[in-house]
Amino acid sequence: MILQHNKKMEATIVALEGRMDAITSSDYEIKMKGLIASGERNFVVDFEKLDYISSVGLRAILATAKQIRSRNGKFLLANVHGSVKEIFTISGLGSIFPFYDSIDSAMAFFV
Amino acid sequence: MIKIEHLSKNFGTLSVLKDISIDIREGEVISIIGPSGTGKSTFLRCINLLDCPDGGSIHIEGIDLLDPKTNVPKIRQKMNMVFQSFNLFSHLSILENLTIAPIKLLGMNKMEAERKAIDLLKMVGLAEKARNFPDELSGGQKQRVAIARCLAMEPKIILFDEPTSALDPTMVSEVLSVIRSLSKKGLTMVIVTHEMDFARDVSSRVIFMNEGIIYEEGPPHQIFENPHKEKTKAFIYRVKSFNYHISSPDYDLYAMNAEIEVFCEKQILPRKVRQNLILLVEETLQLYHSYLSKVSLDLTIAYSEKMDSVELVFESTGEEIILISSEPGTDEFGLNIIKNLTEEIGYQRIQDKSRCTMKLKKV
Ligand SMILES: Nc1ncnc2c1ncn2[C@@H]1O[C@H](COP(=O)(O)OP(=O)(O)OP(=O)(O)O)[C@@H](O)[C@H]1O
Ligand SMILES: [Mg+2]
């Protein structure tokens, strides 16, 4: 999995690419922990280029969401589509998160 | 009519027929099916003594075929064989192909033999080719002539070894319909064939041979609709399978996925099926994760071309594993995914093995 982040005024955008599975999900968690520790509060996760997610990935997403919310931060998911969206839905996690269909619409949340 | 007991045959160190026993009654039509190289042709050739058995006994209408005093050519008149490759005499006309043996072996006079030959050629729809030579006929026509020639000897038993395998697909049905009509005349027939639909509706009994034994036998509806044993199922449902052994919690997920992908590609499974399969395997292995340091696990993925279905079997050896418990606190997302991707989940405990089978939902 490739992870990139891009700090904007209102939030940090974290872009996921490739596969988020039993092996790569820990990379995501480490990265997020680092960003949270460095004081970032609001996040938008960009799923545009993610092809695959398993329940390990879903749990990692949920865990970071909880951490951020406990710090009164915001955690938004954007561009969740295709089979990844389907997996969110069938796992039961889909209804917990609102999905934003673009980075812009997620960012609009902060203004 | 034919009684075979403990028949065995080796070619050098290769044991081709292992211990075959069967009773074939008069008027029965028996189809023999099974994978290539399993000994089907050898079995027929042994019945006809074209190959000499190494052990066991064969009785035809009470006569011991392996008794040196037995008149084998005489028995062969009663029991004739039709080959995949027709084996017509190319230098003789079609008519002569049919009359030569009755004249020479049965002592029939020429006129009578020819009259009979013409009748038989009519029966297989080839009376107008009587004066032609084999080279002037199509494959399907040659095979029909070969069947007529076989009938000219008035056999009680006919052995067919893949009578349609050498034919163009367009000519298969003309030959099968001739054989079908014979089955209604009370002839005893043993037919080795790869034509499953034909075997299903022509036979009174079907024998599935595998690795030199009669692995399963039964009426056609059993063998084709409801085979009881594992390898019969795999053969009938045209199952292709893939195995992967997992012996530690640090198994290589990507190496396994790559192999699953290759398997799916070979079976030309759609992308969506592949994705679901890989997800289902990962999710299930997550449930096994805490056990993987204690038990070893074998994953089998079986694809049935005929049923267009994918089945997964996770078999662990060692302590019993309760994979999906309803206790709270278990991995809910994983379980939801598994439930959504499968049509059926089953468990079995056999001795020290726990088996979990899943049927992938169709997409
Ligand atoms: N004359 C021979 N000498 C040595 N090995 C032989 C001989 N005839 C057959 N075999 C071997 O015996 C095995 C069974 O062959 P057989 O021809 O009976 O198989 P089969 O079930 O008829 O297969 P297929 O469906 O391909 O016709 C094969 O491994 C074959 O190579
Ligand atoms: Mg053969």
Contacts of A59 in chain B (CB under 8 A): 331, 333
Calpha distance B343→B253 (Å, rounded): 24
Structure tokens at B228: 């009881």
Q: Is the beta carbon of B16 within 6 A of some atom in ligand 1?
A: yes
**Residue A56 distance to chain B (closest CA, Å):** 8
What pLDDT score was predicted for residue B330?
60
* Assigned domain for A111 exists: no
pLDDT in tens, A73-85: 999 999 999 999 9
Residue A87, helix vs strand vs coil: helix
Contacts of A91 in chain B (CB under 8 A): 332-334, 336-337, 340
Handedness of CA B75, B77, B81, B87 (dihedral sign): positive
pLDDT of residue B184 exceeding 90:
no
* Assigned domain for A56 exists: yes
CATH number, domain at A48? 3.30.750.24
pLDDT in tens, B127-151: 999 999 999 999 999 999 999 999 9
pLDDT in tens, B296-347: 999 999 999 888 999 999 999 988 887 776 566 667 899 999 999 999 999 9
Q: Is the beta carbon of B40 within 6 A of some atom in ligand 1?
A: yes
Q: How many domains is chain A built from?
A: 1
pLDDT in tens, B248-299: 999 999 999 999 999 999 999 999 999 999 999 999 999 998 899 999 999 9
3-state secondary structure chain B: CEEEEEEEEEECCEEEEEEEEEEECCCCEEEEECCCCCCHHHHHHHHCCCCCCCEEEEEECCEECCCCCCCHHHHHHHEEEECCCCCCCCCCCHHHHHHHHHHHHCCCCHHHHHHHHHHHHHHCCCHHHCCCCHHHCCHHHHHHHHHHHHHHCCCCEEEEECCCCCCCHHHHHHHHHHHHHHHCCCCEEEEECCCHHHHHHHCCEEEEEECCEEEEEECHHHHHHCCCCHHHHHHHCCEEEEEEEECCCCCCHHHHHHHHHHHHHHCCCCHHHHHHHHHHHHHHHHHHHHHCCCCEEEEEEEEECCCCEEEEEEEEECCCCCCCCCCCCCCHHHHHHHHHHEEEEEEEEECCEEEEEEEECCC
Among A53, A84, A85, A91, the strongest candidate for a mutation testing the B interface, having the largest count of B CBs within 10 A, is: A91
Residues of chain B in Cβ contact (below 8 Å) with chain A:
253-254, 272, 275, 278-279, 282-283, 285-286, 331-334, 336-337, 340-341
Instruction: Quote the distance between the C-alpha of residue B171 and its chain's center.
Output: 21
- Give the ipTM: 0.94
Q: How far is the CA of B38 from the centre of ligand 1 (A)?
A: 7
* Assigned domain for A110 exists: no
What pLDDT score was predicted for residue B306?
87
Domain span at A95: 2-105
For range A5-28, the mean pLDDT: 92
Structure tokens at B186: 């009370």
What pLDDT score was predicted for residue B45?
95
Compute the mean pLDDT over every residue in chain B, rounded to the nearest whole number: 93
* Assigned domain for A43 exists: yes
* Assigned domain for A98 exists: yes
pLDDT > 90: percent of chain B: 82
Structure tokens at A1: 């999995």
Could you list which residues have their CB under 5 Å from ion ligand 2? B 41
* Assigned domain for A66 exists: yes
Calpha distance B256→B244 (Å, rounded): 7
Atom 17 of ligand 1, residue of closest alpha carbon: B41
